[in-house]
Amino acid sequence: MDDKKAAILSEIPRLRRYARSLLRDRDSADDLVQDCLERALVRLDNWQTGESPRRWLFTIMHHLFIDQMRKVNRRGEAAMLPLEAGEAQAAPADQVETIASREIMDALQAISPDRRAALVMVAIEGFSYAEAANILGVPAGTLMSRIARGREELRGLLDDTSRRRTIRIVEK
């Protein structure tokens, strides 16, 4: 196996984590990773020596994700509606999650895809602002505002969820 393929293979766990944060559902996330890998292999020659495989692969995957989100948006515009946290998508049955994990993943799905990607890229994947801005193809200022708004939005959604939970407990 050549070095390039070995390098790509070793990035799969991270790509899966990023995809999972974007899409939540395990199979859908892996489908996105598969699309990304297929595209990467076709374009192996575009990968310049010295360029970090991680950055290259994340860029490919991000483009796939955002392109499709835009198509979904254009067709339905439904994604523009604020989704209620917890209603966005049911947790996969084969995944044991704590309540806290489920709530934060639900909330993450409910914020806009652009903000979600920016926040996860920096807060989970550990990219610098410069790297993340480069991968997402936006100016640093835009990236920063997406991160700040993303965190605000997430906090608000989590607060709503915990308020609702409190109400439910009280009602019992």
Partner 1 sequence: MTRRDFSERDIHMALDGELPGEERMAYDAWLEANPEMKAKSVRYIADRAAMRAALAGVMDEPVPARLRQVVLGEAPAKASVWRSRWWLSAAAAVMLAVGGLGGYVAGVDSIARGESDDQLAEQAIAAHVTYAAEKRHAVEVPASDKDHLQTWLSNRVGLKLVAPDLAAEGFELVGGRLLPAGGQGKAAMLLYEDAKGERISLYVTAESSETSKGTYAAEAGGPEAVYWLDKGYACAVVGSLPPERLSDVAKSAYGQLLAGISS
Cβ count near 158 (within 10 Å): 17
| Pairwise CA distance, residues 133 & 160, whole Å | 30
Rule CB under 8 A: is residue 158 a binding residue for partner 1? yes
What is the C-alpha separation between 21 and 29, in angstroms, rounded? 8
Q: What three-state secondary structure class fits 32?
A: helix
Q: Give the interface segment with partner 1, choosing from 45-53, 143-151, 164-172 (CB under 8 A).
A: 143-151
Query: Does residue 66 interact with partner 1 by CB under 8 A?
Result: no
Q: Write out the DSSP string of 103-157.
A: HHHHHHHHS-HHHHHHHHHHHTT---HHHHHHHHTS-HHHHHHHHHHHHHHHHHH
Q: Least distance (Å) from partner 1 to the CB of residue 76?
A: 6
* 53-76 vs 26-42: helix crossing angle, rounded to 10: 120
- 35 lies in the binding site for partner 1 (CB under 8 A): yes
Of 46, 87, 164, 167, the one binding partner 1 (CB under 8 A) is 87
Judged by CB under 8 A, the residue of 53, 55, 89, 138 near partner 1 is 89
Query: Which residues lie near partner 1 (CB under 8 A)?
Result: 1, 5, 8-9, 12-14, 16-17, 20-21, 23-25, 27-35, 37-38, 41, 68-69, 71-72, 75-79, 81, 83-84, 87-89, 97, 100-102, 104-105, 108-109, 120, 122-124, 128-129, 144, 147-148, 151, 154-155, 158
